[in-house]
Amino acid sequence: MVHLTSRAGYFLELLLNGAFVVIYTLVKNKKLPEVLKIIPADYYNEWAVWAAPFLVLFTMIIHFRRSESVEDFIRKYVFSLIILIPMLITLGDPEFSYWLAMVHLFSTFISLNEGVESKPEERSGNFEWIYSTKLTPAQTVILSFGGIIFIGSLLLSLPIAAQAGKTIKFIDALFTATSATCVTGLATISIVDEFSPFGQVVILALVQIGGLGFMTLSSSLALFMGKSLGVREQLMMQGMLDSSSSQELLNLIINIVKFTLLIEFLGAIILTIGFFNADYEIGQSLYLGFFHSISAFCNAGFALFNNGLEDFKFSPMIHGTIAALIILGGLGFVVIQELLEAFKNKKRIMDFSLHTKIVLTTNFLLLAFATTYLFFGEFLHAFVEYSLWEKLQVSFFQSVTIRTAGFNSIPMTDLHPHSLYMMILLMFVGASPGSTGGGVKTTTFAILVQSVKATLTNNNRVEMFERTIPNTIVVRSIAIFIISLITVSTVVLIMMRVEPGKDFLSLLFETVSAFGTVGLSLGITGSLTVVGKLVISALMFIGRVGPLTLVLAVGEHEAGGDRLKYPESKVLIG
């Protein structure tokens, strides 16, 4: 944690943090390499008690000497101060010091430029070393998600990430890290049986980072520590978040993190009460509450139960809270912000922006359709033993999770094939833009429907809510839909080739679930071949960053002046 005045000094600090955590992790799990066993394990425990707070305190002294004022010091390094105080209070407890050191390691990693000094006029923000590479927004998204997945895979493949007596293969660690970062929820191995609490916390951290977006999270942390975003960083973030001004961008970044943490905290408290009422101990209830709250709001679908949420399908406090978190997470941060402002200022629905109107209307119609279809379609089949109220609960919850969340309150294999196919269609649509979900997005689907309507009514304009959709948006929506359809179709063909023993419906369901970052499965995920796991991992990645983003990352280039315009010519279609 020694802060030097160079980039090498920063990485040395990160290395010291990491070395402490890794060595003590091996000690905790009694998997210390032979070369380190020359020192008795008890000495490592004593070393951990003093080393963790000493390193943090030593770092704080260097930080303080380099800060412009006490206020500047507190603002920039508040996370380390928050960690140091309980470390000193609980001095002598190696377990507590270990977990606080883990938190400090994460905060050190996330604030990459904290230890790098440069002239103010030469700085371009908290991540200037990323932006100085002149990557496009699409390429930055790809690299940031890819980097997080790689780091997560390494962490999940460590011995500490596995339960006692278990070993996590790297392919399973890679698949799980991809699924968590891409907030999907598919898993080749049991999260609760195979992964230790450390592994589960890593998965949860990846879900949170993936849900918010690494660049959004890092930029918000920079702003919280009193740093400013450089011009290039602001322009890149504006492209990612579709913001029109710098001030709007800063407010949006802050509000995204603020809303996320607030909603997840409130959801965690309610879920904790629900799990406590379900006869879980208070400590376990807290853990389950926070884990499932974050997983639900980020639309990840990871559950700490091997049968999903089947044991709680008739517990409204649990499945109702999770459903509410899924809906909020799937609306998108822009819509949530506008809803809160409307509630505060008592705005009418008609005063909402066109984007919010489309998102709310499309979500409501898709939710109503799915609930009705499942209720009547499975009334005398999968739901035959349930009461009327229970049928409504299961139908509503499963319709909420279909499009991106991936939680299940009933076994998917109990449903009719036609119900499963309906779910495939809705998984392909997915959540809304700017949300934590995947798919082609609700707005894309709505614009395509309206464009079909305009064609059938011989209208050369696509109109919604007394507004005209620009042709560029219509063309972009068609491109997203076609690219997504081609991507899914291609992967289905590949999966049929590499997984010959599995039926078509299961493979199609698995493929669309991965593309839509949903996480539902017909039970074939764990039996996939290595090639199948790699293909599904790649598809989850494409589904999270967006197929159009991936295409732009590969082929986007700056236009060199006005392009030549060719004369128009008619072509017969239809």
Q: Give percent above pLDDT 90 in the chain.
A: 36
325: nearest Cα among 304, 298, 364: 298
Alpha-carbon distance 398 to 456, whole Å?
34
Alpha-carbon distance 159 to 173, whole Å?
11
If DSSP states are collapsed to H, E and C, what string results for 202-240? HHHHHHHHHHHCHHHHHHHHHHHCCCCCCHHHHHHHHHH
Provide the whole-model pTM: 0.76
pLDDT single digits (tens) 328-338: 988 888 888 88
pLDDT single digits (tens) 16-46: 666 666 666 665 555 555 545 555 555 555 5
Question: What is the structure's pLDDT at 108?
Answer: 57
Residue 162, SS3 per DSSP: strand
Q: What is the mean pLDDT of the chain?
A: 78
pLDDT single digits (tens) 363-384: 999 999 999 999 999 999 999 9
Q: Give percent above pLDDT 70 in the chain.
A: 67
Question: What is the structure's pLDDT at 1?
Answer: 36
More confident residue, 265 or 98: 265
Question: What is the structure's pLDDT at 44?
Answer: 53
Burial of 122 from C-beta contacts in 10 A (0-12 / 13-18 / 19+): exposed
Question: What is the structure's pLDDT at 333?
Answer: 80
Question: What is the structure's pLDDT at 43?
Answer: 56
pLDDT single digits (tens) 317-328: 999 999 999 999
**φ/ψ of residue 422, rounded to 5:** -60, -40
pLDDT single digits (tens) 434-444: 777 788 999 99
Alpha-carbon distance 19 to 24, whole Å?
8
Whether the per-residue pLDDT at 253 is higher than 90: the answer is no
pLDDT single digits (tens) 144-158: 788 888 888 988 888
State the average pLDDT over residues 522-544: 92
More confident residue, 67 or 224: 67
More confident residue, 483 or 333: 483
Question: What is the structure's pLDDT at 493?
Answer: 95
Whether the per-residue pLDDT at 125 is higher than 50: the answer is no
More confident residue, 242 or 504: 504
Question: What is the structure's pLDDT at 447?
Answer: 94
Q: How many residues does the chain have?
A: 574
Answer for the pair 487, 539: CB distance below 8 angstroms, yes or no.
Answer: yes
